[in-house]
A and B are shown apart, each in its own frame.
Chain A
Amino acid sequence: MHRLFPEKLVTVITSDVLEDKLVASVRTRGASGYTILRARGAGSSGEQTAMLDIDTNIKMHVVLPPERMSGLLDDIERLMNKGYHMTVYVSDVSVLGPEKFETAMS
């Protein structure tokens, strides 16, 4: 049996213009890393086809220990309150090798 450890996965789907802000917040809130994918879809701000710079979305994944999650969520919530369209959800995940999620990015 594998040794699995509980962590939180924060997923954010939003316009790629917010990438810099999100990355900055991931860094300052002590996450160990992040993964960004280019995404397309449709929602309250219309269709996002990723064909042009103006309508490209990103999907960002951050895995981090539960106790570090709330700072990141505060930052994201602040962005949402300003009116940015974002889809954000948190899931419970099990990881192999939990050490890597403990060290913050340099």
Chain B
Amino acid sequence: MSALSNLLIPAVLFFALGFLARAIKSDLRVPQDLAKVLSIYLLMAIGLHGGYELGKAELGTAVNSVLWAIILGFVLPLIGYALLCLTKRVKTMDAAAIAAHYGSVSAGTFLTAIAFLDNLGISYESYPLIMLAVMESPAIIIGLLLASWSRQRMVATTTVSGGAAVMGNDNGTGNGHMSGILREAFTNGSVILLIGSMVIGAISSSSSMSKLFPFINEIFMGVLCLFLFEMGMEAARRIKEFRKVGGVLIAFGLIMPLIGGLLGIAVGHFALGLSEGGITLVAVLGASASYIAVPPAMRLAVPEANPSFYLTLSLGITFPFNVVVGIPLYHYLATLIAA
């Protein structure tokens, strides 16, 4: 019962409203660029806020959390890829692209978790925020490596001359392509905005930062409501493609966040020694799947994979699962392990 009342926060309820509006085919529409504008605001506000807090934090733990964020970002896609390949029902290129999404993070889920913790009055450290910024890039890189490895394996197993010629062509431009994508992984818009805002928040004087508090604190939850409202509609639209995706992938979209969440809890508790709130946030980082930075990167770098698979999974299945079931569950497990 208390788990249910924890979900009765406006941000989650607006997510449900957006979902419902789309499910009952309401004519409700939001302006086309609203979600893009809101996500810029959210990244900027959370970056400034976190940077301000980090200015007061310990360097050692900060470096440690960056290290663990990179490890999580590399390990999670490998687990996901292995799981998907073991099912033998998913094409390897699809598996590589999907796995990359699960190593990366969803800022929307992370912010919902913050709203959840705020609602319960639980404090949390600012270290998970650096991890949020760091985890976008490693997952993209490992996804690319998995994809090019699968591509080579495919070439090795195909003896069809036509196929080999196309692949050969690919490899010829492969290097320039790869470096371009790597550059993209690190210069990705959301990574730059988040890290840049954190730096600004950390080095700005306290008095000038306090003038920004209405912008980054007071209106934050309201904007998050708007954003989740829109994302609820997007999730409902994606979930319609359920049937196309198939049972194996749906099961993956529900099991993978649990694995990531448990790994996140372990990292938050044993490696970083965070509080119950901090552990919950690291769990959410491990559990969530990207739908901002990774999909365009995969679309560009792994054209062989079907975008509707990875988008349906990350946005239509894992995101709602984390918002409704995952966050309270990870928090419950975090309280158990922290106690």
Q: How many residues of chain B get a CB closer than 8 Å to chain A's CBs?
A: 24
Contact B299 A17 (CB under 8 A): yes
A85 to B308, CA, bound (A): 12
Stretch of A25-33, A47-55, A65-73 with 4 or more beta carbons under 8 angstroms from chain B: A47-55
Give the residues from 30 to 47 in chain A that come closer than 8 angstroms, CB to CB, to chain B.
45-47
Residues in A neighbouring B230, C-beta threshold 8 A: 51
**Is A106's CB within 8 Å of the partner chain B?**
no
Contact between chains at A46 and B234 (CB < 8 Å): no
Q: Name the residue on B nearest A78 (C-beta).
A: B169
A91 on interface, CB distance cutoff 8 Å: no
Contact A18:B300 (CB < 8 A) given known A51-B32, A51-B234, A52-B36: yes
Q: How far apart are B238's CB and chain A's nearest CB, in angstroms? A: 9
The number of residues on chain A lying at the interface, defined by a beta carbon within 8 Å of a beta carbon of chain B, is 19
For residue A59, give the distance in angstroms from its CB to the closest CB of chain B.
16
Question: What is the chain B residue whose CB lies nearest that of A48?
Answer: B307
**CA distance in complex: A47, B169 (Å):** 30
Stretch from B211-219, B271-279, B290-298 contacting the other chain? B290-298
Any chain B CB within 8 A of the CB of A84? yes
A15 touches B237 (CB 8 A): no
Given known A-B contacts A54-B292, A78-B169, A46 and B311 have beta carbons under 8 A apart: yes
Nearest CB of chain B from residue A21's CB, rounded to whole Å: 8
Known: A81-B166, A82-B170. A54 touches B304 (CB 8 A): no
Chain B residues with CB under 8 Å of A50's CB are 32
Apart from A51-B32, A51-B234, A54-B311, 6 more pairs, CB < 8 Å = A15-B299, A45-B306, A54-B299, A78-B169, A82-B303, A85-B303
Residues in chain A within 8 A of chain B (CB atoms) = 15, 17-18, 45-47, 49-55, 78, 81-85
